[in-house]
Amino acid sequence: MASTAGQTSAASQQTPTTGGDGDSSSYQRYQSLYNAAFYGDWEKANEFFETNPNPNSISENIPCTGKNVLHVAALAGRTEFVKKLLDSMTAEQLGLKDDNKCTALTYAVRSGNVEIAKLLVGKNDNLTQIQNEKGWFPILEAAILCQKGMLNFLLSVTKDEDGGPFRGKKGALILVNALYADFYGVEVEQASTCCCTKGDIENSMQSPTNCSFLQSLKTFLRPAVILKVPCIKHVHDMKLMHMQVQKLINRICAQVLLLNDKEEIKKLFMEVLVSAKFGIIELIQICVQAYPEVLWYETDGRNILHLAIEYRQEEVFNILRGSGAFFNILANPRLRNLNSIIHLAAKLAPPSKLNSVSGAALQMQRELQWFKEVEKIPTPGYNTRPNNSSKIAKDMFTEEHKDLLEKAEKWMKDTAASCMVVATLIATVVFTAAFTVPGGNNSDSGNNYDKGSPIFLEEKSFMVFAISDAIALFFSTSSVLMFLSILTSRYAEEDFLKSLPTKLIIGLVTLFFSIAAMMIAFSATFFIIFSHRFSWLSILIAALATFPVTLFALSHARLLAEIVISTYGSGIFQQNRSIFPSSSGQEKENMH
């Protein structure tokens, strides 16, 4: 085998000619070699080399495949086979390309086998600088294929030189594809000049303590907890990714500002406006703090505040409003077609934001909250001034939300009608139960005072029955009346802001308590009748009675919580955050 390798002197990075005549009979002679490489059978491959008269069979492409034996083994991920094969090949032969202009390292990247890549680069480190037919370097292909382990390895061995993968557009492609694959920590971990490493980030997540025993215990438990408990590992990974993203963006901003070209800087920082559409507040804050001029950039006549309102990004809106005087400057300019920010709030929200809220009624409520909040912004005359279509903001809101209003009305009526049926049924049952008490009444009693009174009147369980039955009746009746009020409402736009949600909250809460009280009365009835002989049956029935109550609570708890929070919670609009650091906030206000 050593003599075979010595006789081959093919030029590196050139596609060798295929052995034989290239027809099917030639492939049949090489089929055993192909199969041996594909399945990792070194004994059969070695036998082929020893018996084959062609001394170049180890490096030339196999007919009908366009790949040599190393390409096939690397693509199939046969590590041991490749290791033995490299002992019989020169460094130049490792750079040979197949018919698709790909080297063995390219195929190792595609298979995701880092060990094979290490073997290849260890013998020929120039492989990392060879491009395939698309002009891709191995490290770029690793990023595109989301091979994080391969990407980390290639980052450590790929040389940064003129014409290399880290220069020009190809370097940007590597970074972009790494970000697409959520490999935010790759650049941070590998760059020697970065101020943050993975270890630093993980250390910063630990609680500060000087207790050596506690620290040792935490160090011992951390890998086990993170690796074995999915929820903890997810939180750890998300926090790690978040911090890595911030460090990466800071470095990118610093490099962009070194361009010292206003137009080029503007082109790059214009992407911040795209971030406003998607609510990426971390990116916006970092970029604005690094280059405040971003605040005045516009796309299609809309600045960052306009985009936040149009795309309903409340977090972006909140941090801009916390910026003081800047917010008023951003809010006042009029848009094309003479629209103002109130006209943007009057437009229907994008479907992705609408669908993030449950139910058409709550979607209508959220739209009204946005419109009312933007209406509070001091923009003299803009609220009542028409645009080019001769529409004031209020009329525009009504027109844009006409279909949503109809859907919200239908959703509210359907919900109220369904719940009203249940509440009516409960009211009927508990009202009847009040006059047909368990055990019956005294009819043959010498004392006229006791005649007609319930037999089990002195039992504590009977008092439980009576009280719970009365509570069920009161709450179910209240629920029926509240849902009836919803069905007979006028369904104006303003009603969806407070009135209708409040009625729905009261209706659902009273319905829940009526169901719970009814099941308590039902359980008490069984206890009264069967407790003397079958006490276990009473306990079983009482336990089963909790099932419908729990089922109702679980099925409606999320909806009820969303309505309560949306109607009476702190709201989505807050002013406790600023886009600028608090320490320099005053200085920022004086910039314009």
E strand or H helix that includes residue 120: helix 114-123
273: its two tokens: 């406006």
Closest CA to 183 of 116, 110, 121, 240: 240
What whole-number distance in Å separates Cα of residue 237 and Cα of residue 205?
A: 11
What whole-number distance in Å separates Cα of residue 152 and Cα of residue 187?
A: 9
Per the DSSP assignment, residues forming a β-bridge with 492 are: none
What whole-number distance in Å separates Cα of residue 405 and Cα of residue 578?
A: 34
Q: Do you know the residue count of the chain?
A: 592
Q: Based on DSSP, count helices (H) and strands (E) in the chain, helices before strands.
A: 29, 0
pLDDT attached to residue 298: 87
Please answer whether residues 201 and 243 qualify as being in contact, where contact means their C-beta atoms are separated by less than 8 angstroms. yes
What whole-number distance in Å separates Cα of residue 367 and Cα of residue 348?
A: 8
Per the DSSP assignment, residues forming a β-bridge with 302 are: 299
Rounded to whole angstroms, the maximal C-alpha distance in the chain is 126
Rounded to whole angstroms, what are the CA distances from 178 to 131, 294, 489, 526? 19, 25, 55, 66
pLDDT attached to residue 82: 92
Closest CA to 276 of 247, 300, 305: 305
Mean per-residue pLDDT pooled into runs of 10, the chain (592 residues)? 39 43 59 88 87 78 85 92 90 89 92 93 92 89 88 88 77 75 55 38 38 41 51 61 75 79 81 84 86 88 91 92 83 73 92 91 96 86 77 92 96 95 94 74 57 62 87 96 96 95 96 92 80 69 79 87 91 78 47 40
